[in-house]
Structure 1
Amino acid sequence: MLQRIQSVYLFISLIVASVLPLFFNLWITTTKKAVFAFDNLVYTSLFGTSALLALISIFSYKNRQNQFVINRLNMILNFILIGLLVYHSLTLSGEATVSEKGIGMFLPIFSIVFLALANKAIKKDEDLVKSVDRIR
């Protein structure tokens, strides 16, 4: 059932983790060079893993508990990504190399929001199935 609302949320999370880092920069250096997520191997692997987990979660719709756990792992991965981005932006002193922060630093936050919405919808589906089983 790929038409469920949690699949839509997971697809949006997949787009946020895989396509949007190509277009939105993480920061701009003092030499006015935009730094994207795919310029750094660590950020590339974290965004790629997040996109892969979202894709796996979309196609594991038959096992809702497994889908819920995969989404939780993806949220933890995005929190790690946020932590690395914040650490990188705060450890650089003043105008050393980062001149301006980009919108790409907020992409993991958007991904976490859509993953949380998907988990809420999965929980709602699970509760509905349990209530129907109770009536039988």
Structure 2
Amino acid sequence: MIQRIQSIYLLVAGVISGGLTFLFSLWNTTQTNPTTYVIDLFTGNSILEKLVPVSFFISAFISIASVFLFRNRQLQFVMNRLNILINLFLLGILIYLSQTLSGEASVSEKGIGMFFPVIVILLLFLANRAIKKDEDLVKSVDRLR
């Protein structure tokens, strides 16, 4: 299970989505709340702000759960594709929120947390490629029997 490279990719994607979002900020502004973390968005005004942490946690859960689906490669592949779609949706929400910040007239800078969905999408793509390679290998061995 853990010796497969896709398991490593999925674990790293889960750690980034679930753990590192608490350590790194999404954006910094010069207003009263200078640094915004993912957990701060639970108290946001709009539903989109509340959807960001939920999407991060769903992405982390699917990544970790997908590690344990190593016996069913097809389901693992589909779960990773679903996770890629969730992260694309999350990336779109983060881009929208960063463009419509209330204090955008003042100087604001984006944090490293804004790039986490891109990194997770890349890791999930690499995991899907490795899963596809394993599936092709199993199919080629089955043909020889």
Question: Normalising by the residue count of structure 2, what TM-score does the alignment of the two structures yield?
Answer: 0.88
Further displaced range: 61-70 or 96-105: 96-105
2:69 to 37, 41, 60: 60
TM-score normalized with structure 1 length:
0.94
The separation in 2 between residues aligned to 1:74 and 1:17, in whole angstroms, is 11
| Equivalence map 1:1-136=2 (5 Å) | 1-31=1-31, 33-41=34-42, 42-92=51-101, 95-96=104-105, 99-136=108-145
- Listed as ranges, the gaps of 5+ residues in structure 2 are 43-50
Runs of 4+ in 1 over 2 A off after TM superposition: 91-98
Tell me the distance in 2 between the aligned counterparts of 1:2 and 1:107.
Answer: 23
Is the contact between residue 89 and residue 98 of structure 1 (CA under 8 Å) also seen in structure 2?
A: no
Distance 1:70 1:97, change over 3 A: farther
SS of match in other structure, 1:40: helix
% identity of equivalent residues: 53
Question: How much does 1:38 deviate?
Answer: 1.3
Aligned-residue CA RMSD (Å) = 1.6
**Aligned partners of 1:87, 1:12: CA distance in 2, in Å?**
26
Secondary structure, counterpart of 1:100 in structure 2? strand
Aligned residues: 136
Kindly indicate whether the alpha-carbon contact (under 8 Å) linking 1:14 and 1:54 is maintained by their aligned counterparts in 2.
yes
Runs of 5+ in structure 1 lacking a partner? Answer: none
CA distance in 1, matches of 2:54, 2:14: 14
Contact 1:68 1:119 in 2 (8 A): yes
Residue 91 of structure 2 aligns with an amino acid whose one-letter code is: I
